[in-house]
A and B are shown apart, each in its own frame.
Chain A
Amino acid sequence: MALQSLDIKRRSATTTPSAGIRSTPELAKLIDVSKCIGCKACQAACMEWNDLRDDIGTTAGTYDNPRDLTEHSWTVMRFAEVEPEPGRLEWLIRKDGCMHCADPGCLKACPAPGAVVQYHNGIVDFHEEHCIGCGYCVTGCPFNIPRLSRADAKVYKCTLCADRVAVGLEPACVKTCPTGAIMFGTKTDMLKQAAGRITDLKRRGFAKAGVYDPKGVGGTHVIYLLQHADRPELYSDLPDNPSISPMVSLWKGAVKPLTSLAFGMIAVGAFFHYLVKGPNRVPEEREQEVDQ
């Protein structure tokens, strides 16, 4: 949604400067995995606030449902049964969704002007009205978050409830979480909060407890508190050291000097089409439309 244009810090494929007269503190959502009971209230809240309803699916032999992120499910709980030490079972439940990177791969990869924006408060949002359905953000994202809808060829993901936050409310998942596993505030406060929790977890035997705020993407505005911060892969393959795909940097480097946006789009589109193709499931016609 584009109502908060004064708060936009960066837009995809845009070279004109953003509005700069207003500044907001940097915000963050802290997900304390050690407090999460996997109740999925946050998933329900997300569907309700955003008025989305996924299909009634099937059970594949785990508690994960819906099984993956979709254009209707912007957050899902991922349940992992792990034994970090032999004989010591842990059920690590991670709320997956957009990390709202400080250096967002989706925004960098996106060739459509203004389809991806970043606000001064750190939220990375998709403005679907500008989205051309190319799916490059899917490749650009180091966390595999954006989902391209077959129905309208637009991409969707968690907005960190940018609409709620803009009017001083916390994201819907934060409000709903019964155990206080999700917290929201300035990034400084969230890191302070996390520090207290780390002390507590260390006392309870988690020597490697820590924050997940990966530097490879400039830090994130959704940060995790992990019992085993040294082994993020235990948490349903949370990437250890995420960074933006070199392909994105490559084209970014190439496109910068270009002044003609249209030309840039075509060039980049072709380049990507050649390189990736895989994760992008845009209907053929749509792809051609974009290419033309």
Chain B
Amino acid sequence: MASLATTFGRGAMTNHWVDIKNADVVVIMGGNAAEAHPCGFKWVTEAKAHNNATLIVVDPRFTRSAAVADYYAPIRSGSDIAFLGGLINYLLSNDKIQHEYVKRFTDATFLVNDGYRFEGGLFSGYDPATHAYDKASWAYQKGPDGFVVTDDTLQHPRCVFNLLKQHYSRYTAEMVARVTGTPREQFLKVCELIAATSAPDKTTTFMYALGWTQHSVGTQMIRTTAMVQLLLGNIGMAGGGINALRGHSNIQGLTDLGLLSNMLPGYLTLAGDKEQDFKTFLDKRAFKPLRPGQMSYWQNYPAFHVSLMKSWYGDAATRDNNWCYDWLPKLDKVYDVLQVFELMHQGKLNGYVAQGFNPLAAFPDKAKISRALANLKFLVVIDPLATETSEFWKNFGEFNEVNPAAIKTEVFRLPSGCFAEEDGSLVNSSRLLQWHYKGEDPPGEAKGDAEIIAGLFLKLRELYRTEGGAFPDPIRNLTWPYRIPASPSAEELAREFNGKALDNVTDPKDPTKVLAKAGEQLAGFAQLRDDGSTACGCWIFSGAWTQVGNMMARRDNSDPSGLGNTPNWAFAWPANRRIIYNRASCDAAGKPWDPRRTVIAWNAKATQWQGMDVPDMRPDAAPEQNVGPFIMNPEGVARLFGVDKLADGPFPEHYEPFETPLGTNPLHPAVVSNPAARLFKDDREALGSAKEFPYIATTYRLTEHFHFWTKHARLNAILQPEQFVEIGEELAKEKGIRSGDQVTVSSKRGHIKAVAVVTKRLKALVVDGKLLHTVGIPIHWGFKGVAKNGYLANTLTPFVGDATTQTPEFKTFLVTIEKA
């Protein structure tokens, strides 16, 4: 998400599932949609059957997606930036870019600060002591008017376009083949197929998932693709875009609602330690336009933030107390999951609530997680299932060899309902909020999550009220306006995140016009105010439950355009827009690049943007006004140069996985792996080398199962009963392993045993002159459930995280394999 937000302004799938049917070329890379998203995959089939689309799959394994692809190319796990950087180089050197688009809708013409450098694998500003960058030099040049200096001729050596060319000139087809193991011809074939969609009326869509996020350079892998799509002019177009396929049905909702340690709902952010002053906090986030006339929509940040605080604290939030700013935590550092478990491991964190997730199975280095959990005083598990985490203290023989007597952690298990046992909305990858109704009551003593959390809150509040405490205000003053305080309903919560008027909201252009009367539900986030007259629990969801009613429950699937837009089916954030950045689907004059797939167009007579979708643009902004299509970016355009948004550089660079099979980086041997990645000291020592562990391992999901849940379900267990690992025929031969044999796979951190599946679908690749084998490790087994008991795959994975998002590197590490 970070990569997309850095490039385009919003961290979400740009298009939507149904729109995939409009693509000319579909690329599945960094994911395996047929396997992990079989239902959504139907739109790929549609694109092939009805739009003559070509499906390309690039993956270390010949996957279920590859089984129906028109073209498959193998790649070494973890080397995607080299491949995609090579693609950028191919597009630039073969002049296969959408020139007008690049010039007008990206920062290609912007000049970059003279201090910015990239040398020997490092960007300017690196501090080896802290493993972090000072990002000051990663900036645009600004003129005396405060705006960025540009060169429309693209001649200036410091313009983004030329720096981009220079950066990726090193990524020749030969270098790509050497780093990725993809045979040169196959790489070039993929380039050629994708490059054809640089024509203004042709589109490629990219579909990716955790195959890109779960690397120490995951964010940058995705960003490279975002840049490719900009060069091809494919963002904002029907059938284009970069489509982040989320790994859980509501994980998009999780990030939208800010359930990350440094976020607030709607991608608002928590303040850092140094941001004690409210005004500076807001100013820093309410970006001023970097080019004349740009919308820079985050200028409305104060309205979003104040409305959130009004929603949380009601009358207690006033202008005088800065809308309770002092009650918000100020971060000394980011408390991502790796950091939290590191602290737990050090004994510095002694209570933990695991709600709806299974850290023992889901986080890297199971042994470390297990030791960390054993340091806790208490662990609360809120889950519909008896998870491995909730029984981490129990001995399950070889699958969980612990000594219960030595573990003092007190575990509380609070059984919750599952999604089918409650009303509510789920946000899918398409940013679509769809309402659903409960099918059954939760069994036994299980309760809905809202009820469980409400119970905890009410008890805590009572304790703070009666006994006081270190800092009671934020708890005592939290609004709790629910009809049954012990059980807030889904409807009440949804109305709350949509927002309502606390006072009459009037039209800024005509104050006599009342847009929403006090007490009414708001129609959308345009009605939010920074003066305390509105309350809104998540600004991007505003419009989901208006005065008209529950927009998420709409079920009109009519599709007037035939492009699958269905504007009256449920509600998509933002503002029910289905394809975001859709202004970019038109040329400078407001005419669609591809009239057959018109998303919106400028209607000069009506002086309005109109079309099948909600324009992602001020509706009356005439094309002559040159308002850029990326309205969330202060530039108004998308960023090829990531400025200071990401922790590890403004341009993506190939770095080796932390457990590299090569031991070097052919692009710059002195800097092998991501210099800014998240890696704690002890974990560095738990990294293995290729000498001991010569094979690349990668973990993944199977269609038959969903994470660690469905091994509890008989049907799924029948379809895929027992843990296995996959190896290629060459490696099998070398090791004397036959299909069906029991094998042991070990990494520096532990071992698992499983059945071997010997397959032609995992080919050895020649990388940097070495023949490299890959071991494939599906993740779905554990020691709870009805499927055959097995080992948690994360026994093997390293405790390393991406530099910006800290997502663990589950996709590439080193192992060895033997017949058990």
With A62-B739, A65-B720, A89-B62 in contact, is A40–B704 under 8 Å at CB?
yes
Chain A, range 3-48, C-beta contacts under 8 Å to B: 34-41, 43-44, 47-48
- CA distance in complex: A92, B68 (Å): 9
Q: B35 near A65 (CB under 8 angstroms)?
A: no
Q: B722 near A44 (CB under 8 angstroms)?
A: no
In this complex, how many residues of chain A approach chain B with their Cβ under 8 Å: the count is: 39
Proximity bits, A93-108, B CB within 8 Å = 1, else 0: 1000000000000000
Which listed residue (B38, B716, B722, B761) contacts A59, Cβ 8 A? B722
Cβ of B269 within 8 Å of any chain A Cβ, yes or no, is: no
Query: In the complex, which of the residues A36, A38, A53 has the most CB atoms of chain B within 10 Å of its own CB atom?
Result: A38
Binds A, one of B7-15, B41-49, B744-752: B41-49
Shortest distance in angstroms between B42's beta carbon and chain A's nearest beta carbon?
5
Q: Which residues of B are found within 8 Å of A200, using beta-carbon distances?
A: 48-49
With A60-B740, A180-B45 in contact, is A39–B721 under 8 Å at CB?
no
Q: Provide the main secondary structure of the chain A interface.
A: loop
**A37: nearest residue on chain B (CB-CB)?**
B34
Cβ of B371 within 8 Å of any chain A Cβ, yes or no, is: no
Chain B, range 674-717, C-beta contacts under 8 Å to A: 703-704, 714-717
Total A-B pairs in contact (CB under 8 Å)? 119
Cβ of B67 within 8 Å of any chain A Cβ, yes or no, is: yes
Q: A178 near B38 (CB under 8 angstroms)?
A: yes
Q: A179 near B42 (CB under 8 angstroms)?
A: yes
Q: B739 near A43 (CB under 8 angstroms)?
A: no
Cβ of B354 within 8 Å of any chain A Cβ, yes or no, is: no
Shortest distance in angstroms between B341's beta carbon and chain A's nearest beta carbon?
32
With A39-B38, A60-B740, A61-B757 in contact, is A53–B718 under 8 Å at CB?
yes
Q: A59 near B718 (CB under 8 angstroms)?
A: no
Cβ of A263 within 8 Å of any chain B Cβ, yes or no, is: no
Cβ of A56 within 8 Å of any chain B Cβ, yes or no, is: yes
Q: Which residues of B are found within 8 Å of A92, using beta-carbon distances?
A: 67
Cβ of B231 within 8 Å of any chain A Cβ, yes or no, is: no
Q: A56 near B717 (CB under 8 angstroms)?
A: yes
Which listed residue (B62, B64, B70, B786) contacts A38, Cβ 8 A? B64
Cβ of A271 within 8 Å of any chain B Cβ, yes or no, is: no
With A35-B68, A40-B703, A61-B757 in contact, is A56–B740 under 8 Å at CB?
no
Cβ of B538 within 8 Å of any chain A Cβ, yes or no, is: no
- CA distance in complex: A44, B720 (Å): 11
- CA distance in complex: A192, B739 (Å): 41
Proximity bits, B720-743, A CB within 8 Å = 1, else 0: 111110000000000000111100
Cβ of A237 within 8 Å of any chain B Cβ, yes or no, is: no
Which listed residue (B45, B70, B739) contacts A61, Cβ 8 A? B739
Chain A, range 135-185, C-beta contacts under 8 Å to B: 178-181
Which listed residue (B70, B721, B788) contacts A204, Cβ 8 A? B70
**B714: nearest residue on chain A (CB-CB)?**
A53
**B786: nearest residue on chain A (CB-CB)?**
A56
With A38-B703, A93-B67 in contact, is A63–B757 under 8 Å at CB?
yes
Proximity bits, B113-133, A CB within 8 Å = 1, else 0: 000000000000000000000
- CA distance in complex: A83, B739 (Å): 19
- CA distance in complex: A81, B64 (Å): 12
Which listed residue (A48, A57, A91, A178) contacts B715, Cβ 8 A? A48
Q: Which residues of A are found within 8 Å of B703, using beta-carbon distances?
A: 37-40
Q: B722 near A58 (CB under 8 angstroms)?
A: yes
Which listed residue (B45, B716, B760) contacts A81, Cβ 8 A? B760
Query: In the complex, which of the residues B38, B62, B65, B740 has the most CB atoms of chain A within 10 Å of its own CB atom?
Result: B38
- CA distance in complex: A229, B485 (Å): 65
**A181: nearest residue on chain B (CB-CB)?**
B45
With A55-B718, A56-B787, A65-B719 in contact, is A34–B70 under 8 Å at CB?
no
Which listed residue (A47, A56, A81, A179) contacts B38, Cβ 8 A? A179
Which A-B residue pairs are the 3 nearest by beta carbons?
A61-B739, A61-B740, A37-B34
Chain A positions within 8 Å of B, measured between CB atoms, are 34-41, 43-44, 47-48, 53-63, 65-66, 81, 83, 89-93, 178-181, 197, 200, 204
The contact sample of 19 A-B pairs, CB cut-off 8 A, is A36-B68, A37-B35, A37-B38, A38-B67, A39-B704, A41-B38, A47-B715, A56-B717, A56-B787, A59-B721, A59-B724, A60-B739, A61-B724, A61-B738, A61-B740, A61-B758, A62-B739, A178-B38, A181-B45
Chain B positions within 8 Å of A, measured between CB atoms, are 34-35, 38-39, 41-42, 45, 48-49, 62, 64-68, 70, 72, 703-704, 714-724, 738-741, 755-761, 786-788
Beyond the given A35-B49, A60-B755, A179-B38, could you list 4 further A-B residue pairs with CB under 8 A, ordered by the A residue number? A53-B718, A63-B757, A81-B761, A91-B66
